[in-house]
Amino acid sequence: MYPTDTIWGIGCDATNETAVQKIFTLKRRPEKKSMIILLADARDILKYVSQPDPRIFNFLETVEKPTTVIYEGAVGLAESLIPDDGTIAIRLVHDAFCKQLIRRFRKPIVSTSANISGEPAPRYFDEISEVVISEVDYAVHYLQYDKTIQQPSALIKWNKDGTATVIRN
């Protein structure tokens, strides 16, 4: 469990099926409900999306708010992260801690809110339930006492015509 550039998240190696399954179990979440992955650098999109629209890179340079983008053609990730339609939700992090974590790990990291599915997402560490804390392998100590209320990311779907459909602003 770790602080992200939005809310506290539960994460793991997004390429490791066993680790991803553990998160689905911990969250009591149906596998059909997707999770997002975090990347540190835009160039890494090329590793996990088969044919990204080149225009997405220009768009990402203009984004100020943490924004998760749904791409078509997911590749190289744990099978259960990829829904039947072959999409994957990716957020490039701007937060220095998250960026460093991902770069040192050298793999994408799953990011899902640190709560049981259906319960409110914790706005800061003290709102994370004891059940969740007891079931994760490790909770990062960084920012556990920070009471800054964070918000979830914006969510968009990148369309084939180079436009974005806003799902959550």
* CB neighbour list of residue 11: distance below 8 Å, 6 or more residues apart: 1, 2, 23, 38, 109, 110, 111, 112
Residue-wise pLDDT for 50-73, tens only, equals 999 999 999 999 988 899 999 999
Torsional sign, CA 83, 86, 89, 90: positive
H/E element, 26: helix 17-27
How far apart CA 90 and CA 50 sit, in angstroms, is 13
CB distance 7 to 114 below 8 Å: yes
CB distance 156 to 36 below 8 Å: no
Bridge pairing between strands 36-39 and 164-168: unpaired
Tell me, what's the pLDDT at 64?
Answer: 86
Does the reported pTM lie above 0.85?
yes
* Residue 124 pLDDT grade (very low, low, confident, very high; cuts 50, 70, 90): confident
pLDDT at 37 over 80: yes
Residue with tokens 């701007």: 94
> If you average pLDDT over each of 28-42, 99-113, 150-164, which comes out highest?
99-113
pLDDT at 116 over 80: yes
Domains of the chain, by residue range, sit at 2-168
Q: Write the CATH number of the domain with boundaries 2-168.
A: 3.90.870.10
Tell me, what's the pLDDT at 111?
Answer: 93
